[in-house]
Amino acid sequence: MTEDHAGGCQCGAVRYHVSGPLPAAYACHCGECKKQSASAFSMSLPMPFDRLRVDGTPAVFQSTAFSGKAKYNYFCSVCGTRLWHSGSAPPDQITLKAGTLDNDQDIEPLGHLWVSKKQAGIFLDPDSEQYDTQPDDVATWRENLGKD
């Protein structure tokens, strides 16, 4: 049996399916992630874009990441739901927004970035990996998260 995880935007104009098991999730507490999620942090699942089958056409806008590199932000052009980010357009590796999955109850962040910007009242698992800012090689960190 093939694992398939469905998700999409709030209005249903963009739907997706992730093939295979979900990767380990992480939470980012930086100011940009707080704004894009309209919450205390954003949870993401790093994966190759080719694991995603997308129905509908997401919109994209370019911003600048903390590293100074371009970041492409994919979202629904109808309802505005942020779906994933990528360092390239078209996307190669993405960070899928965990809250867009239809079933996200079992997703727990194994790591936390930018805890120096963490909102008061948010308590983190002391056993999780935590960085005041982020690792020097965040791509490798994402790839190895949860692999002990």
Give one DSSP letter per residue of the chain, joined into a string: ---EEEEE-SSSSSEEEEESPPPPEEEE-SHHHHHHHTSS-EEEEEEEGGGEEEES--EEEEEE-TTSSEEEEEE-TTT--EEEEESSSS-SEEEEEGGGBS--TT--EEEEE-GGGPPTT----TTSEE-SS--TTHHHHHHHTT--
**51 found inside a domain:** yes
Q: What is the mean pLDDT of residues 28-39?
A: 85
Q: Is residue 148 part of a domain?
A: no
For residue 129, tell me if it sits in a domain. Answer: yes
Count of structural domains within the chain: 1
Question: What CATH number does residue 62 fall under?
Answer: 3.90.1590.10
Q: Can you give the residue range of the structural domain that contains 14?
A: 4-140
pTM comes to 0.88
- Residue 59 in any domain: the answer is yes
pLDDT at 72 over 60: yes
Instruction: Check whether 12 has a pLDDT greater than 80.
Output: yes
Return the pLDDT at 2. Answer: 52
Q: How far apart are CA 11 and CA 77, in angstroms?
A: 10
Half-sphere exposure of 71 (CA within 13 A, CB side): 14
Determine, yes or no, domain membership for 102. Answer: yes
| CA–CA dist 77, 60 (Å, integer) | 9
pLDDT score at 14: 98
Which of the two residues, 139 and 116, has the higher pLDDT score? Answer: 116
